[in-house]
Structure 1
Amino acid sequence: MAKILPNWLAVKYFRLLSLFGLLPFTVEDAKAALNSEKAPLFLHKMYSYGWVDKVERGVYRVVHPFVALMEASGWAWRSRVKNRDRLPVLEAAVSKLFEALGSKLESIVLFGSLSTGKPKPESDIDLLVVARDLPDKYSERTSIIREVISSRLMDEIILHIWREKGIYADLDILLIDVKEAIVTHPFYLDLTKDCVIIYDKNGLMSRTITEVREKLERIGAKRFEEPDGSWYWVLSPEVEKIRSLEI
């Protein structure tokens, strides 16, 4: 979990952010940027406070300031994402979602292969986003999603990850209203096994996922995984029990 930076270190953090954005940089880059041979010490301090990440030996990157503040406020989620390569995209997306939806934003949940820790290079980053008072028209919701995913920062990060890692970290955002979120959707079954709750202002998705998990346990539902990594659910041989899921 991140902690608030002391002022003297915040100045150095902002210098790195202004020069490198969310892209990786070396210790030598940091020495030049900060004009100091003590840059390794500064980076170690920022890392211990949760404001920079270690990419590999001698290579760091700045954590998005909004996300660092979010974690310092108690919403710590980055450590639960096992595949760190896509974290810069996630951080930028979370910040843009708050910017686009403001106080209407209720929940952000990471699901799909990235939440399981088994993404393929071409796997999307799947986000369930719940907000209040969304427009009913699909086209209007799409424009909100476009506002989140279409930015120079996002394009820069995705292109860098593709060039350096061969990973296309595309975002796939499912934006739904609170009224729609409380309905049990089929993909909620997988959320009971694998998901990362990034933000949940009033606990809506935490409660919903818990309720679905309890229903699955009550009817004896099980998820079976195939050797290729795919899976399927066997709910129950008893029809009346399956109906209780209201899917």
Structure 2
Amino acid sequence: MWIPRWVGEGFARLYSSFSRGIFGFGDVCRTLGVTPTRGHVLLTALRRSGTLIDFRRGRPRLYRLLDPRSFMLIAGGVANRPANIQGEYVQLVYDVLRVLRSSWSLTSLVVYGSVARRSAGPLSDVDLLVVSDEFSGSLASRIDKLLEVERDADIQSELSLLRMHGIHAKLAFYPLRREEVGRLPLLLLDLVYDAAVVLDDGFMQGFIPRLRSRLELVGAKRYMLPRGLWYWDLGPRAAELWHPWTHS
């Protein structure tokens, strides 16, 4: 991934001033000594490069910069930068990815639920599907192990920053091995339309379209309800969803 020099210089100056903090448009213009027009041009370029996070889209709009270590994962092709992760949680997700990669060989990391639908509220969980064939033991023991990431200083700092902005985020892990994904736990239906695949070796990016196709094949339908809720009617052929996936 190539970034024009002037964009990189703008990023460096802003990161030197704000680091992982939150800032507004006026802060950009004052810090860089540029006109509003030039400020908008730079923010647009930073957003396109994946280095700018729209932290809050209300008025006034708030921004922050993606941590350089996180951006290097994206620029190096290790991680993706899905557009549908709600802005307030983007940095937290990449902090979690960085810490998990230091301890586990990951197949996939997928954000789902309200954060991937961009509808999370102040008390919403950050739902994370983690796929690794290194997992063993019970689901509960795996979750307990993964929650140890909260001891990381950057994650503690990030959770504290979010609380300062009224967001009381909790990490909610769902750790599975590859073959367990193939058994189709019902929770995976939440990924059919709203998944944000942050890291993947191709496994989940292949699995999700196949699951969507199989749901369509058996006549399953998702019905939307008020307040962003929904339910699935799997229909009379629901048992076919659990037929061996090798025959899909």
Fold match, TM over 0.5? yes
Q: CA deviation at 1:131?
A: 0.9
Q: CA deviation at 1:53?
A: 3.3
Contact 2:54–2:87 (8 Å) recurs in 1: no
Q: CA deviation at 1:175?
A: 1.5
Which of these residues, 76, 81, 94, is aligned with residue 80 of structure 2? 76
Counterparts of 1:1-247 in structure 2, within 5 Å, are 3-5=1-3, 13=11, 17=15, 20-25=18-23, 37=33, 44=43, 46-47=46-47, 49-55=49-55, 60-74=63-77, 75-81=79-85, 83-101=86-104, 104-137=105-138, 141-164=142-165, 166-201=166-201, 203-236=202-235, 238=236, 241-246=237-242
Q: CA deviation at 1:220?
A: 0.7
Q: CA deviation at 1:16?
A: 5.3
Give the alignment's TM-score, normalised by structure 2: 0.77
Q: CA deviation at 1:167?
A: 1.8
Q: CA deviation at 1:133?
A: 2.0
Which ranges of structure 1 fall in alignment gaps of 5 or more residues? none
Contact 1:100–1:144 (8 Å) recurs in 2: no
CA distance 1:72–1:245, shift in 2 (3 Å): same
**Alpha-carbon distance in 1 for matches of 2:224, 2:46:** 40
Q: CA deviation at 1:230?
A: 2.1
SS of equivalent residue, structure 1 residue 126 = strand
Aligned-pair identity in percent equals 25
Contact 2:7–2:42 (8 Å) recurs in 1: no
Q: CA deviation at 1:54?
A: 4.9
Which ranges of structure 2 fall in alignment gaps of 5 or more residues? 244-248
RMSD: 3.2
Q: CA deviation at 1:154?
A: 1.6
1:207-230 superposed Cα distances (whole Å, 9 cap, x missing partner): 222222122111111111222432
